[in-house]
Structure 1
């Protein structure tokens, strides 16, 4: 399983791209920077898109992905999200006001984007991948994902505060190779993190105790304006399992 971090930040600025993780060039998790982060030819090879929740830094490039690849694929991008997320995207983004409704272009029978509803805690199979969506502690009905292919499984939950269910599921997973999760705000902004349902290094220290042991942890969604402080505070945790996702377009093989 090749995991490419097209963008792994919780904000956008030169050198900082919003969340988009691409697995094996085919399965995309969130669309915060996929159109700006990889070449159009690579974009056109994506088959499936999982959307964790409807915040802008996770959906904005759906608009440009559809525009870039319009007429190129011969088949839709298959988009998987829960019902509130799908409705939010259709109402506020692909509404023929902010952006064309690519779920009906070039026509409803063969659209550029085709949505599928997913249910929390019900597995689905997409090609070679088995995916378990699990609710996490973030707004708009956010989901984390446990993704399995062949002999490797990986946990992804990029927007969440302290949560429980996904770690209980993760402890039951065989061949778990990596955990991708988040630290958004420095410790001094603990109330902001709590109110917005994100992590600080301090809350992540407690969260790690809930996770399966001996699995590498990759921390992303750092807010660009706090990255230097976050690096220091995360390093102060002195946990050898942690890798900080401070750069865009990096890849890992599991």
Structure 2
């Protein structure tokens, strides 16, 4: 069985972070391991507290798993501090598998999940190691230093991000006003394409970024090609939103079982530039 890892924060509400990642891994038939970077007191209404793990204990978790198991792909989520980012990056410099970086910065309720001084550490230490970076538009703006309002703005921001050493970028379009939910992909070989599904008007989108990047990690670990893995991850998260489970009184979680229940069947429009 293919082994994968999530390096992220714990969501006590179960919709995002470590919990969402492990559910996604299980649904897609890979064995999930985890490194907890922080505990959050969190539910669908927001983040009520954050308690970061000491960086040396984050390293101890990484060492414990990587010294024993053959991990094919690792995804990072909430890393919280510059110290944790630098510790993780240093440990993964010799990692021979794939690294998927989801630059988690702000929770659905608006709470900051990344300290300001950590942004530069992410740019200089972690992004050069990334096989894929999966920012939403606000995260891409922070990391690139550019304002993004158009598709061409996305392309300029992606060029900056690729310049940091990132191999591939998926610019998620959930924050756009476009009728479709369209993500823009910039590949290492210079090719570009967009992938779109129908935009669903639902409050139950907590953990969508975590879940998408976890699905992408699982598909890549199983040997899917890069564009194919991205499209399947898009299917996974779209079905999870369409077939939502209506939990909580705020931004509820997606349905991590939906992809399997629906046999991965949904339309994704792909347009190559």
Q: TM-score, normalised by structure 2?
A: 0.35
